[in-house]
Each structure stands twice: as structure tokens, then as C-alpha cells.
Amino acid sequence: MAELRKDPITGRWVIISTSRGKRPTDFVPETRDVGDPANCPFCYGNENKTPPEIVALRKDQSAPNSPNWKVRVIPNKYPALGIDEPLAKKGVGMYDMMTGFGAHEVVIETPDHYRPIHELSSGEIKDVLTLCQNRVEDLHRDIRFRYVLVFKNEGPQAGATLSHSHSQIIATPVTPIRVKEELAGTENYFRAKERCLFCDMINQEKDAGTRIVYENDHYISFCPFASRFPFEMILLPKYHQMDFYGSRSHVEDMAKALKITLSKLSIALNKPQYNYLIHTAPNRFSRRGYWHTIAEDFHWHFEIMPRLTKAAGFEWGTGFYINPTPPEDAAKYLREISVTD
Amino acid sequence: MAELRKDPITGRWVIISTSRGKRPTDFVPETRDVGDPANCPFCYGNENKTPPEIVALRKDQSAPNSPNWKVRVIPNKYPALGIDEPLAKKGVGMYDMMTGFGAHEVVIETPDHYRPIHELSSGEIKDVLTLCQNRVEDLHRDIRFRYVLVFKNEGPQAGATLSHSHSQIIATPVTPIRVKEELAGTENYFRAKERCLFCDMINQEKDAGTRIVYENDHYISFCPFASRFPFEMILLPKYHQMDFYGSRSHVEDMAKALKITLSKLSIALNKPQYNYLIHTAPNRFSRRGYWHTIAEDFHWHFEIMPRLTKAAGFEWGTGFYINPTPPEDAAKYLREISVTD
């Protein structure tokens, strides 16, 4: 009827409801408005509608903030945190607060208004990922930033306000609580086993085979044993690496794995809205100019979460999730969809 | 522009976006279908459409599963966890799982199909709360249950599938991760200060006054300093008590505080959809028949969360929340709405 499964990283329990066992066709995607390229600030010719670009990959020697770019990174026009705020902390009685210091950037992944990321070529996706790696590495050089998150909101139900394909990068002056949970989990595991939890998970998944979605020489994607959401996936390097920007070799394989994994998801669920995010190790650069030595027990990864179910009081109150599609079923559907790179 | 605030209980950071500063009228409630009483399994005459009742408060000596009840508790027809499952745990390689053992009950709060909870009289709400206390206490007698959560999904956006006013109770064989976070936070605080964190918070809120929504002799509601959501509120006893069902005296004040707090919310935001949940201490009854001695550092409370904003990739990836309405502004709006009991 149902079973409880524990996420080995965070210790979070999930209810996998086998009796309901929802199939891909049980999820009806909400219709979306694709917007109008003429008014889209992410389209060619509208470069002046965004703040001046931070960096762009260009087809030619064209000037910054002019068309002919391939991937363009700009400051978010409505940033959640501001780079110009001074970083200041204070107590308010028993409470703690900080100024809203941080960075909030947007990565426009293609000049084409209508192409979602999985419809780009592997080569184009490689360019996007390389530029994201550069941004994360660059932001880590500012020691006031403790963490840098790369994420994508695909579709309005997933929080996107513009339909033109883009990702976002937010750098925060504190390490976020969800990342701390993962760091604590992998650190405890490493202490007990002297091995990386994610590397062990990859081995077990390869042995079992039932939850794997896609695999190439250096990357693998699978539906986690304790998936919170139907068709949730994790995508990560098969070799040990704690920093997203540490994975500079084999970016072709990363791009190909992302393209194929997202294409399978798009076909299986008829263009679902989704979020993905990259969990990488926190910034370890210190005031004194050297790297903090921490146990190299983290393993960077993508988390891909289709927005098919709604979190309700139970989920908010407990952190438990009720997942109506067993990950083995989801992985089987996804595996059987054939996609070419 | 924005500031970062830390939740003193969990250590979670929240971005309070003061520049956006959304007012109540900026949130447009989604329209809702109220359903048809003739087909509603929670209405008089349809008692046979639900599993047999666990307990009901009745107007007269009417038989179980007949009309004339005032509040009715039934097993959930589609339970997330099942009471008939044997509790069994096993390892699957490096993973941990458990059978889907648990209890899932529904509290039908009124026979009237059209009345939301805040439109019931304080006396009627008192009956609902007393019955909830009884159920939590009764479920705690089963030592296989580690935790019992009472929660409400009001409206489909908040996860409700039926519009007739009801709450749910789920008993789980493990203590949920979000509760563990709160327990760890209050325990650390108690160790450092030898005082209850929530009691200290109430004192500071009373001194500041700016975030208080409502207060009577024994209960208080306020918008938390690090509110995750616009118009989020906490409602709790002003005296120290770790168990929801330990608050047997002054239930009138509890009911009145809940009625007035939810009424203010309903008026301010034009009948918003929302969740609330009760965080109470976990079950401390042990196999050997006595109570575990744990530091009495927890303080039970309601968390009330209107569903006005959507969590996106950033929220999922970090546990950070971006709240566009400062709690001081929300509390001021709510405080100024006059509601009679």
C-alpha cells in the first residue's frame, strides 16, 4: 500500500504510495503562455531592457550588450539580494539579522525565445554549463559569499516569470540550511565509512539498475530511492568531485546527460514544469587567502524536480513527502523513452 | 531593499524583501469550487460514504455513523499510512525503509458544508480542538507512534480535495525531520539559557508589540520575526506547555484566539487558501511504560501559513524563503482589522 523510505543524505523520510501508483498520463500539465519575443528582455535587440551584462559568450567580436551573443549573463533586474549592500550583521534582542547582501544573476541560455534547454544541442548546453561554472568559481573568489546556488525555474508553476529559457545564480552570505543538512549527512557517512556517500549510492544504483534513467562514460542520472516527488531525478558525475566548477573535463558528457535526461522527462510528462538546482560544496576560501581544509566528502549534483504535486500541511509540518509514483516505476518509464543526443 | 533574518528555532534564514513590500491587495485569491452538499461525504446523511467513525461529539444520544453529530472523526478513506500494516523495518543495501504503518484520520469540524472554521462559534471551535487533543493523546498511547501531527489544508491550492471544513491527523512511526529541527533548536537554547526559547520569544514580542496580531489572557498570535511567507503567523499558549493535549485548561481562550486570528486573515486577504499545523512534543511513552525524561524545553504551537507565494528552485535548493511582506507590515494590517468573537 505504502512504504516509508529514508533519504540516506538528509535522513528525511518519504512515503512512497504504491497503491496510488500514478502513471505519467495521470499528471496533466498546466497550459503555459510563451510570451511575445518583441517584449522579451532576453531576446536579441532588447539587450538594453536588462542591466548591463556581466559576461557573454558571443558568436563574433560584437560589443557587450549588443545582439549576436550565444549565452548571456546579466544581473537580475529585481534581485532577491543586492551586491551593493554592505555586509553587516546585528542582533535584535534574541533575534539575528543581516543586511540583504548577495548576488543574483540570470543566465540567458539561448537567443531563441521558443527553445527550452533540452532542445539546445549538446554543444550549446555545454556552453551554458561552462559559463555557469565560470560564474560560480568567480563568485567564490569573494569571501563574503558562503554559498552559490545555480537553479532553473521552468514554467510559471515552477516560479518562472519569463518563458524565455534561463537559469539563475544566487550567492548568499550564509550557507543555506538545506545544504547544511546534506553536508552533515555526507560528513557523518564519511566519518563512519571513510567513503563518499554519493559514490556509494552510484555503485548501489548501478548494481540494482532499477532506478537508473541514463548513463554515459562520466555522468549518470537516476530516480533517488527516497524520491520526494514523482519523476524526481538526480544527475551527477560518476567520479568523485565536490565542486561543480571542479568538473571541467568531460563537460560534453555532463551536457549530453542533462539534455537526454530532461528530454526524457519532457516526453514522458508532456512538457512538465520543473525546477532543477545544482548542489555544490560551499565556498572554502578564507580571509587568510588559503582554502579551508574540510573532509572531501561532498559530491556535487543536479536535483531535478518536476512540479506535479502540491505540498500541503502535512509536508510543511513534517518535511515528510508523499510520493504517488515509486521511483522504480518512474525510472522505467523514463529509461524506455528513446532520445538521441 | 532586503534583509536577511534568522529563525531562532531552526536557524533557517529568510530574505525579507522590503522594497517589494507587498500589501494584502497585491495577493489575488484564486476562485474555489465549494462542491455540492448532496455528494459531500462529510455532510449529514452521507455518513455511510466514509469509513466508520472513530469518535464523534453528538447533539443527542444518536447512534454512531448517523446524523446529528457536531464534530466527527473518521479514518481517512485514502490513508497515506495504514494502521493495519505491521511495523517492520529493513535495510536495502545502504538504504533504510519501513512498512507504511501509521494512522491517518479526518476531523469533520462542522456538519455545515459552507462554514469554514473561523465562522464557527468559539464554543464550536472549542469542541473541535478538544476532540483533536483527545485523538492526539489517544494515539500517543500506541508506543509504535513517535509523532502525531494535526493539520488543516484550507482550499485546493493548500492541498484540500474536499471543501467541507475538516482537519487531518497523521501519526507516524518516526519523528519527522522538521520537528527534529525544532526540537534541536529549543534544546540547544535551553542548554545555553535554561529557559524555553518560545517563552523568551513571547516576552520579546510583547515588548516590541510590532508583530503581535492578537492576544487574550492565555493565548497570543504574532507574525514571526523570520516569517517565511507573507502573513505567516504563530499562535501559542502564553504559559509554558510542551504538549498540545496538555493545554486542557483555557481551551476557550485557545478557540477564541484561533477564531479571531483566522478571521482577521480571512478579511485581510479575502478568504485566502492556507495551511495550519500544530507542532507538539513527540511521543515520550516508552516500551517500559514510563515517560522518557526529556528536557521540557519544547512549547507547542500552531503555525499558520497562507498560500500566497510559490516556492521555486531557490527555495527548494536552499531552504531560504523570499518573503515580500515584512512581518511588521502584515501584523499591522491584521491588528487593525476589528473582529468580534
pLDDT for B314 = 86
pLDDT for A286 = 64
Let me know if B166 is a catalytic residue. Answer: yes
Phi and psi angles of residue B122, each rounded to the nearest 5 degrees, phi first = -55, -35
* Residue B31 in domain: yes
Q: Which residue has the cell 491584521?
A: B334
Decide if B131 contacts B71 (C-beta within 8 A).
yes
CA dist., res. B301 & res. B235, Å (int): 6
A38's CB contacts (< 8 A; 6+ apart) are none
* Residue range(s) defining the domain that contains residue B282: 3-336
Q: Which residue has the cell 544581473?
A: A75
pLDDT for A36 = 86
pLDDT for B293 = 53
β-partners of residue B188 are none
* Residue B341 in domain: no
Specify the 3-state DSSP secondary structure of B199: helix
The DSSP letter of residue B258 is H
Measure the CA angle with vertex A219, ends A213 and A220; round to 5°. Answer: 25
Among A170, A279, A311, beta carbon nearest to B314: A170
**How far apart are the CA of A270 and the nearest CA of chain B, in angstroms?**
20
* Nearest CA-CA partner of B104 in B35, B173, B46, B42: B173
Confidence of residue A26 (pLDDT cuts 50, 70, 90): confident
* Residue A341 in domain: no
Which of A9, A13, A84 to substitute to test the interface with B, most B CBs within 10 Å? A13
Q: What is the CA radius of gyration of chain B?
A: 20
The DSSP letter of residue A39 is G
Other Cβ atoms within 10 Å of A77 Cβ, number: 11
pLDDT for A85 = 86
Decide if A276 contacts B313 (C-beta within 8 A).
yes
Mean pLDDT of A205-229: 97
Decide if A213 contacts A327 (C-beta within 8 A).
no
Other Cβ atoms within 10 Å of B52 Cβ, number: 10
Higher-pLDDT residue of A296, A301 = A301
* Nearest CA-CA partner of B310 in B27, B18, B11: B27
H/E stretch holding B332:
helix B327-336
Question: Are A97 and B160 inside 8 Å of each other by CB?
Answer: no
Decide if A284 contacts A294 (C-beta within 8 A).
yes
Question: Are B8 and A276 inside 8 Å of each other by CB?
Answer: no
CA dist., res. A85 & res. B317, Å (int): 23
CATH number of the domain enclosing B53 = 3.30.428.10
Residues of B in contact with A98 (CB under 8 A): 3-6, 13
Number of domains chain A is built from: 1
Among A5, A159, A226, beta carbon nearest to B313: A159
What is chain A's mean pLDDT, rounded? 92
* Nearest CA-CA partner of B106 in B71, B58, B146: B71
Higher-pLDDT residue of B313, A289 = B313
Tell me which residues of A are annotated as active site.
166
pLDDT for B318 = 85
CA dist., res. B201 & res. B8, Å (int): 9
Give the sign of the dihedral formed by CA B190, CA B193, CA B195, CA B199: negative
Residue of chain A with shortest Cα separation from B275: A313
Q: Which residue has the cell 518562472?
A: A160
Number of Cα atoms under 13 Å in the Cβ half of residue B188:
10
Tell which phi-psi region holds residue A157, choosing left (phi > 0), alpha (psi between -120 and 50) or beta: alpha
CA dist., res. A115 & res. A175, Å (int): 33
The pLDDT tens digits for A260-282 are 999 999 999 999 999 999 999 99
Question: Are B318 and A95 inside 8 Å of each other by CB?
Answer: no
H/E stretch holding A268:
helix A251-268
The DSSP letter of residue B233 is E
Question: Are B8 and A82 inside 8 Å of each other by CB?
Answer: no
**How far apart are the CA of A271 and the nearest CA of chain B, in angstroms?**
17
pLDDT for B286 = 64
Q: What is the CA radius of gyration of chain A?
A: 20
User: Residue B304 has which C-alpha cell?
Assistant: 499558520
* Nearest CA-CA partner of B157 in A157, A71, A57: A157
Measure the CA angle with vertex B270, ends B315 and B208; round to 5°. Answer: 65
Question: Are A313 and B277 inside 8 Å of each other by CB?
Answer: yes
The pLDDT tens digits for A309-332 are 877 888 888 888 999 999 999 999
Each residue's pLDDT, cut to its tens digit, for chain B (341 residues) gives: 799 999 999 999 999 987 657 888 888 877 788 888 889 999 999 999 999 999 999 999 999 999 999 999 999 998 989 998 899 999 999 999 999 999 999 999 999 999 999 999 999 999 999 999 999 999 999 989 999 999 999 998 898 989 999 999 999 999 998 999 999 999 999 999 999 999 999 999 999 999 999 999 999 999 999 999 999 999 999 999 999 999 999 999 999 999 999 999 999 999 999 999 999 999 987 655 555 555 578 999 999 999 988 778 888 888 889 999 999 999 999 999 999 77
User: Residue B170 has which C-alpha cell?
Assistant: 497523521
ipTM of the complex: 0.90
Mean pLDDT of A227-252: 96
Residues of A in contact with B204 (CB under 8 A): 93-95
Three-state SS string over A271-296 comes to CCCEEEEEECCCCCECCCCCECCCCC
User: Residue B336 has which C-alpha cell?
Assistant: 487593525
Q: What is the DSSP string of A226-256?
A: T-SSTT-EEEEESS--S-GGG--TTHHHHHH
* Residue B73 in domain: yes
Q: Please report the number of interchain residue pairs, chain A to chain B, with beta-carbon separation below 8 angstroms.
A: 228
Task: Output the CA–CA distances (angstroms, integers) from residue B14 to A90, A177, B127, B326, in the order listed.
Answer: 15, 11, 36, 11
Q: Give the β-pairing of A321-323 and A13-16.
A: parallel
Task: Output the CA–CA distances (angstroms, integers) from residue A152 to A70, A169, B339, in the order listed.
Answer: 18, 9, 43
**How far apart are the CA of A47 and the nearest CA of chain B, in angstroms?**
24
Confidence of residue A299 (pLDDT cuts 50, 70, 90): very high
- Edge-to-edge strand ranges of the sheet holding A13-16: A321-323, A13-16, A3-6, B95-99, B89-92
CA dist., res. A135 & res. A289, Å (int): 20
Confidence of residue A290 (pLDDT cuts 50, 70, 90): low
Question: Are B100 and A3 inside 8 Å of each other by CB?
Answer: yes
Active-site option among B166, B279, B299, B301:
B166
Confidence of residue A140 (pLDDT cuts 50, 70, 90): very high
Among B92, B157, B320, beta carbon nearest to A172: B320
**How far apart are the CA of B323 and the nearest CA of chain A, in angstroms?**
10
Higher-pLDDT residue of A59, B19 = A59
* Residue A324 in domain: yes
